[in-house]
Structures are given as structure tokens and as C-alpha cells.
Chain A
């Protein structure tokens, strides 16, 4: 056993130590592995290895009907399942020339924004954990719990919902959702302020995050980065504003944009997005249009021939579905574009040359989910 190890060591270049982070590592957010070449405490080169969670979802899609495939979409980015569902349903609806009724659109916005808050709260906790503070994780999960309770009333599920359907939503929103959300809306800003006092203003936390992993926007364009990662570098780009879907143009909300492009800016952008999402949900619940919650769609969905690419602003960035239809029950080809895939792609660019501790923080600032990266 020992001899084998020595033989393996002989093949390595002698100058640097190669350290294997993952697949089971506390801060790789799932089964992600990267081989880091380190020189003392500094990382020289990162070789990311993915595919541990590859389930061949794109191939499965070709062998299932449009409706059968929908539950699998939740499993891509499992922290923001409803955002994925929304994007998939919008893509199929665009193929079929259906538009969801206004009430369904408002309900979809509520779902998507609540899920965004839940996902960003996980990010908040994970960011604390990555810098060594354990408490934010529990705080983040505690509030996420409240949101998940609202989801449970709405959709019956907590993590994988299967709530948004092609043509609308599965069932109408219940009146208790509003009472629960109002309660949450009253308590949460106070709590959020307390959390920010605990962690955002912490001297050590700022020291760890500020001027770490600075990314220029010109580089980010090329790497295909999107979402809060892109906005953290000062790009005014939000798909909810640029290509409004599901009636986002009706709501009044702002886009936080970073100035420095470091990890701290990405963190602040996400924290601000939580507040903006709260605003959107409150507006949507106040002005909920009356009417149907779904349109009538055929029992067997057979979109006409054609191909569409539909994207929306997911919790981590741009989620997109590229669907090629040949007029069958099954999609001919379905490609899923996920933000995590693009962000992990640029990990070597963003993190090499930094300290080990910084590399972990930079990876955390992309807020990747391996389920959506490996698909």
C-alpha cells in the first residue's frame, strides 16, 4: 500500500503539492472535486472535475413526454426548483403558442421570487460557513424553513414541487398564503437586519471577502457568467428586466449592481436581491388578478415543429431550455443551459493564484449547485 503511494508520487512534478478537494468536501457544495496544485498556501492551478452527479437528464428528456419530464426539472438546481419549472414551462408554452392567464402568471412570479429568497438564504449561510462562522448557516436555514412552509401550503412540496404546469399552475393559490407571507414580511426584515449586523458588518468577514477574487466584467462576458455573479462586477443585466417574462414588467423592483467585482460585492448583491424579491412578492400578492389559474391544454402535449430557446433569471444566473420539437410527444432534443456549469468552468481563471482559503470563498461566491452543473 505504502509502496504504491510512493510510485504515484514519483509521477508528480516535485515542485508543487497536489491536493484533492472533494468529491466529499464540506465546502464544495455537493459532489464536486477539484485538484489544486498548491505552493505552500497559494493555489497555482485548479483542475475541476465534474460529472459525479451526471444523470443524463437531456437523454431522459428525449424518451419522455413533455409532461413526464417536468418533475425532473426540479432536480437540476434543487435550491431553486420553481425557477427551473417556470423556465421549462415557458419554453414549452412558447413552442405551443400558449400564454398562461394573468392570475397564473402572478402566482408563478410569487413562486419564483420566494424560491429565490430561499436559495439566497442558503447562500448566506454557506458563505458564513465558508469563512468559518457556523451560526449564519442555521439562521439562514431557519428563515428558509418559513418559506418552505409557505411552499408546502401552496404546492404541497418543500424541495421538489411539480407545481407550475404547462399552461398555468397546478392548483389555485390559497388565501392562507397571504397571511403567512404577511407575517413573514413583517418579521423577516428585522431578522435580516440582525443577521447583517452579525455577519455583513463583521470586520473579519469584510476582511476575508473584500478585494478577493476580483473579476472584471469584460472577462465575465467571455466566460458566460450570469446572474448575481455578473451583476456583482457591475453589469446592469437582469433577464427579468431585459426580456421580461411572466409579467415581470408589471412589478416595481430594482437591480443591485456591484462596483468592485469582488466576493463581497457578490455577497451584497445577493443580500439586496432578497429584499427586492420580498418587494415583488408583496406586490404580486396585493394585486393578485382574478380569473383562471390555468388555461386548457390538450391532454397529450404535441408542440408543432420548431425550436425555441427560453431563458429566465434563475437563482444563480441564467437558466435556459433549448427545445427542438419535431411534432412528437417527446422533445427531439432538449438542452439545458445552467449557470453553475458556466461558473465552475471559470473557477480556474477566478481562483488560481489565490490562497486556499480564498479559493474556497470564491467558489462559494458563485453559489454553484452540482445538480444543475452535471445535469
Chain B
């Protein structure tokens, strides 16, 4: 074990955009960048997510190797997938957003690129009813699987169910 002390330089989002933009163009991914409170968002088409992620992950200069989390947000008319990536090498963070159809959401799995996405995708799938394509093991993760609907969708009703108390059968 060694003990170190280090300073990190502050990063500018314009550098990130400048680095990603040409590479995405050559890969044929249309990226729309936006900034909010020093965070970099990039919006891409849902078909490109796997391509874009593997570009970000495998490119030696970008090396977005770390996945913070992925989740979805239900905006009723559409569902938005959110991927939050981080690059250790450059101390860059980006948040990728992908719009999915609200009625029949389908998206490619990034599990083969980011292995840590496995459970996050399983959780998103069961909470939002998103069909994750090519996921190796899309079982229920947190839920038991007996609820009607998808809990984190906006149309999911929270039911307060009065359960009748059933006394345990007397032990012989």
C-alpha cells in the first residue's frame, strides 16, 4: 500500500465536446450536446447507443471506462434512458440521453461493453418495462415479479391495500 497526495485539474466541458465530436462524426453517430450546471449532456438516437458507448469505451484518448449508473426517466409520452459515464484518464463526465418510444420501449444492451451495466439494466427493465435487447440474463432483480405494471412508470398506481389478518394455524 502506498499513500499519495494529488491535485486534479478542473476540466472544461468544451474540451470534452471537442474530443468527442469528430470521432462521433466518423463513426456516424449524430450527437447533440447541451450543458446544464457544468454537466455535459449528449443526446443520441436510440439505435446508436451501443456504437457510441463502444466508441467512448474503447477509444484510447477518450477512455470512458467507468459507468456510474444507467437508468430511465418516464416522461409519459416518451421514456428517456440516461447513461452516466466517466473517464478516469481525463477526469471527464458525460451523461448520455436516449429517447425511447413510450408505448414500446426497446433499447440495446450495453452490458457487453460495460459489465457493470448488467444489474442496472435488469433493474431498469423491471422498473420501467423496457425491453433490453441482447441482455444475457434479464430476470427480475429487486422485485418479486407479482406486481401489475412497472413501478417507476408514472401510470403506476400506488395501492394501499388493507390486508386481512389471518391467524396462523395452530401447531399440532
CA distance A241 to B118 in the complex (A): 29
The 0/1 profile, CB within 8 Å of A marked 1, for residues 133-152 of chain B is: 00000001111100000011
Instruction: Indicate whether A236 reaches chain B with its CB closer than 8 angstroms.
Output: yes
B71 at the binding interface (Cβ < 8 Å): yes
Is A308 a contact of B39 with CB atoms below 8 Å? yes
Q: Tell me if B17 counts as interface (CB < 8 A to partner A).
A: no
B16 on the A face (CB < 8 A):
no
A254 and B68 form a contact (CB under 8 A): no
In the bound complex, what is the Cα–Cα distance between A307 and B115 (angstroms)?
26
B37 at the interface (CB under 8 A from A): yes
Answer whether residue B95 sits at the interface, using C-beta atoms and an 8 A cutoff.
Answer: yes
Q: Are A306 and B88 in contact, CB atoms less than 8 angstroms apart?
A: no
Contact A224 B67 (CB under 8 A): yes
In the complex, what's the smallest C-beta–C-beta distance from A272 to chain B, in angstroms?
Answer: 6
Whether A189 is near chain B, meaning CB under 8 Å from some CB there, is no
Q: 19 A-B residue contacts at CB 8 Å?
A: A58-B127, A94-B37, A221-B65, A222-B65, A222-B115, A225-B116, A237-B88, A241-B6, A241-B7, A252-B5, A255-B3, A259-B1, A259-B2, A307-B36, A308-B39, A309-B84, A320-B84, A322-B82, A333-B73
Q: Check A227 for interface membership: any CB of B closer than 8 A.
A: no
CB distance from B138 to the nearest CB of A (A): 14
Q: Are A346 and B7 in contact (CB under 8 A)?
A: no
Question: How long is the Cα–Cα vector from A132 to B143 in the complex, in angstroms?
Answer: 34
Task: Answer yes or no: B165 CB below 8 A from chain A CBs.
Answer: no
Residues A254 and B4 in contact, CB atoms below 8 Å apart: yes
From 49 to 66 in chain A, residues with beta carbon under 8 angstroms from any chain B beta carbon are 50-51, 54, 56, 58-59, 62-63
- Chain B residues within an 8 Å CB radius of A341: 119-120
A21: chain B residues at CB < 8 Å are none
What's the Cα separation between A243 and B11 when bound, in Å?
10
Instruction: Point out the residues of chain A lying under 8 angstroms from B6, CB to CB.
Output: 236, 241, 255
Query: Residue B2 contacts which of A237, A256, A344 (CB distance < 8 angstroms)?
Result: A256
Given contacts A59-B156, A268-B1, list 17 more A-B pairs with CB under 8 A: A218-B65, A221-B66, A221-B88, A222-B65, A223-B116, A224-B68, A242-B8, A257-B4, A272-B3, A308-B39, A309-B84, A322-B71, A324-B73, A345-B116, A346-B115, A346-B116, A374-B142
Q: Is the CB of A255 within 8 A of B37?
A: no
CB distance from B39 to the nearest CB of A (A): 7
B141 contact set on A, CB distance < 8 A: 50-51
Residues of the B chain whose Cβ atoms lie less than 8 Å from the Cβ of A56: 151
**Interface positions of B from 71 to 117, Cβ below 8 Å from A:** 71, 73-74, 82, 84, 88, 91, 93, 95, 114-117
- Cα(A179)–Cα(B142), bound, Å: 45
Contact residues, A300-346 vs B (CB, 8 A): 306-309, 311, 318, 320, 322, 324, 332-333, 335, 337, 341-342, 344-346
| B142 pairs with A54, CB closer than 8 A | yes
A235/B1 in contact, CB under 8 A:
no
| Assembled-state Cα–Cα distance A147/B20 (Å) | 47
* B-contact 0/1 string along A332-363, CB 8 Å cutoff: 11010100011011100100000000000000
Report the count of interface residues on A (CB-CB < 8 A): 55
Q: A224-B68, A311-B68, A322-B84 are in contact. Are A269 and B116 (CB under 8 A)?
A: no
Is A258 interfacial (CB 8 A cutoff)? yes
Residue of A nearest to B7 (CB): A241
Known: A224-B114, A236-B4. A309 touches B68 (CB 8 A): yes
| A interface residue numbers (CB < 8 A to B) | 50-51, 54, 56, 58-59, 62-63, 94-95, 218, 221-225, 235-237, 241-243, 252-259, 265, 268-269, 272, 306-309, 311, 318, 320, 322, 324, 332-333, 335, 337, 341-342, 344-346, 349, 374-375
Which of B39, B65, B115, B127 contacts A349, CB < 8 Å? B115
Residues of B close to A306: CB separation below 8 A: 36-37
Closest to A249 in B: B7
| Secondary structure type dominating chain A contacts | mixed
Contact A332 B68 (CB under 8 A): no
A50 pairs with B142, CB closer than 8 A: yes
Specify which of A51, A59, A243, A318 is in contact with B144 (CB 8 Å cutoff). A51
Taking CB atoms, residues of chain B closer than 8 Å to A63 are 158
B152/A58 in contact, CB under 8 A: yes
Q: In the complex, what's the smallest C-beta–C-beta distance from A323 to chain B, in angstroms?
A: 10
Within the complex, the shortest CB–CB distance from A49 to chain B, in Å, comes to 9
Task: Give the shortest distance, in Å, between A327 (CB) and chain B (any CB).
Answer: 14
Cβ–Cβ contact B74 & A242, under 8 A: no
Query: Does A322 lie within 8 Å of B69, measured CB to CB?
Result: yes
Closest residue to B144 on the A side, CB-wise? A51
Residues of B within 8 A of A253 (CB): 5
Ranked nearest first, the 4 interchain pairs of A and B with the lowest CB-CB distance are A224-B116, A221-B65, A337-B69, A51-B142
Q: A224-B66, A224-B67, A342-B116 are in contact. Are A235 and B37 (CB under 8 A)?
A: no
**Contact indicator B69/A335 (Cβ below 8 Å):** yes
**Contact pick for B73, options A222, A235, A243, A332, CB 8 Å:** A332
